[in-house]
Amino acid sequence: MAVASATNETDEVFALNVQGKSNNDEDACVSVIVPFLQKLVAEFVGTFFLMFAGQASEVVDEGYGNKITLPGTAVVWGLTVLVLVYAVSHISGAHFNPAVTLAFASTGRFPLKQVPAYISVQLLASILASGTLRLIFEGSHDHFSGTRLSGTHLQGFVIEFIITFYIMLVKYSTSGLSSDNREMSQVAGLAVGSTMLLNVMFAGPVTGASMNPARSLGPAIVWHKYKAIWVYVTAPVAGAVTGAWVYNIMVHKTKPIQVITKASNLYDSSK
């Protein structure tokens, strides 16, 4: 899962180098590329280990006599989010989720030009994590690690929308803390990890509690199981974008709607 839009010292150096007049074009180019590659690597590593740990808990639970149980699976997802926020939120913002990336971009808190690369890395990490699990657990222990819809498509869409809205609201509310000061990422980790745990506890039996298109698409591609996949792609994106904008409106309720995006912008995309 994901946590916040990243703004850090690296970005500040990146912006200054791009605006300033460098005597060496190669140095200027490196100052642009290296920080962005660092973000992509951090986002890949974080997404991979989130997907690997979370999905592994479900595969092991199903293949070894339900020893982990639903509460155990929820704890795995929640704790994994928490520790990964500590590890990489100061580098990439710890999105781990295309819906989160799109939500931050829609409110101006993440540059649109970086969205395709972030989403590509997140999807690749999820596919590789799912593929790794399928290679490890063979034979009778090979179980689909993706999300399954127990109810109707409408029920699934509504639940995924609500739980993604909920977790995005929490992420957005802590994004200023985790992005401005690495020490304060502890607040974001605890808040978002706890929200993830709660969502998996009550929504897991119904939809699998995806909240993340990459979480559902990775296993679907590896196992070639695409039942109700549209629900897991559209509902989290809609929920995350709505959650981000609702929080914006709540925080900036005394300002005109036209300045909400500008007021929440952590990036100057012109830099």
Rounded CA separation 271/268 (Å): 6
Q: Is the pLDDT of residue 12 over 90?
A: no
Instruction: Look up the pTM and report it.
Output: 0.81
Q: Is the pLDDT of residue 1 over 80?
A: no
**Is a pLDDT exceeding 60 seen at residue 256?**
no
Residue spans of the domains in the chain: they are 9-264
Q: Which long-range contacts (CB under 8 A, 24 or more apart) does 109-117 make?
A: 109/5, 109/175, 109/244, 109/264, 109/265, 109/266, 109/267, 110/5, 110/266, 110/267, 111/267, 111/269, 112/269, 113/269, 114/36, 114/39, 117/36, 117/40
Q: What is the CATH number of domain 9-264?
A: 1.20.1080.10
Question: Residues 219, 227: contact at Cβ < 8 Å?
Answer: no
